[in-house]
Amino acid sequence: MTLHLVRHGRAAAGWDADPDPGLDATGREQALAVAARLAALPTRPVVTSPFLRCRETAQPIADRWRTVPEVVEELGEIPSPEGVPMDRRGEWLMAVMAGTWGDLGPRWTAYRDALLAGVRGLSARDAVAFTHFVAINAVIGAATGDDRVMIRSLDNCSVTVVDVRDDGSIVLLEGGDEAATIVR
């Protein structure tokens, strides 16, 4: 299975201000641009994280292909620790991105493992998946044997391409475009 992993477009609010923001105007433009890029592919299933910013990013290509995106829970965002106030989540995420999965503990390695199982378990031959920065980095880490949480500084609407083999191995075919990532 060839899987195109798309990071969502720019969100209308930061991680420390809204638990599930949609896209801002720039993010909507990015979603249209990535849909135009993906339209060159043969029509394929569209899967998405349950978070609004991913669903909104997926909609333009789903409309072009006349399909309904399938929400896949495992493609969701890394959970923040319970009890961390909203305005401190960005600080927590920056510290997480500087470390490794092994540093994080069982709750977060379970998130990563469920994400990877979800990617490996997609039923489509080829698909386009709309997800998050940390999630795509976890897939890249599985492909490259790298335990860091942040391997690539993926831009909004970047497209990372992986091959998921029948034996469950993941091969990185193309890394997504990078940019300075600002955690707000």
Q: Where are the domains of the chain?
A: 2-174
The pLDDT assigned to 182 comes to: 65
pLDDT tens, residue by residue, 129-176: 999 999 999 999 999 999 999 999 999 999 999 999 999 999 999 999
Look at domain 2-174 and name its CATH class: alpha beta
Mean pLDDT of 21-42: 97
Beta bridge partners of 2: 163
Q: What is the pLDDT of residue 180?
A: 81
Q: What does the alpha-carbon distance between residue 89 and residue 20 come to, in Å, rounded to a whole number?
A: 13
The mean predicted confidence, pLDDT, of the chain is 95
Residue 47, pLDDT above cutoff 80 = yes
Hey, is 131 helix, strand or coil?
strand
Amino acid 125: pLDDT: 81
Residue 124 has pLDDT above 80, yes or no: no
Higher pLDDT, 125 or 76: 76
108-137: average pLDDT: 95
Least confident of 56-60, 87-91, 141-145, 158-162: 87-91
- Helix segments in 39-105, DSSP class H: 52-65, 89-97, 101-104
Where do the DSSP E strands lie in 34-169?
A: 46-48, 70-71, 127-131, 159-164
Q: What is the 3-state secondary structure (H, E, C) of 12-29?
A: CCCCCCCCCCCECHHHHH
Higher pLDDT, 15 or 126: 126
